[in-house]
Amino acid sequence: MSGTAKGDGVSEAKAEVAKKPRVSPAEFVRQVQTETRKIAWPTLPDTVRMTIMVLIMTTLLSVFFLGIDQILGRTVKFLLSLAA
């Protein structure tokens, strides 16, 4: 045996990952542009459809939580009136 501990291979692997060369700001911008071109952007009709669905769901949830809030508020008032 060479006298190394069991975990040395793991720490060496972490050291290799940590030693990645830094890229210049210009290279970083080029990499970002390359990745941005890979994005599948939604079409206008898809965007409109998703926006409408978000507005509908937001409205439904706000009405739901308003109802729950009213029920809980009235329940607390009722319980407090019993204690008085």
For the full predicted model, state whether its pTM sits above 0.85: no
pLDDT at residue 17, rounded to an integer = 60
Rounded distance between C-alpha atoms, residue 61 and residue 20, angstroms: 47
pLDDT at residue 84, rounded to an integer = 76
State which amino acid sits at residue 83: A
Rounded distance between C-alpha atoms, residue 49 and residue 56, angstroms: 11
- Label residue 78 by pLDDT band (50, 70, 90): very high
- Label residue 10 by pLDDT band (50, 70, 90): low
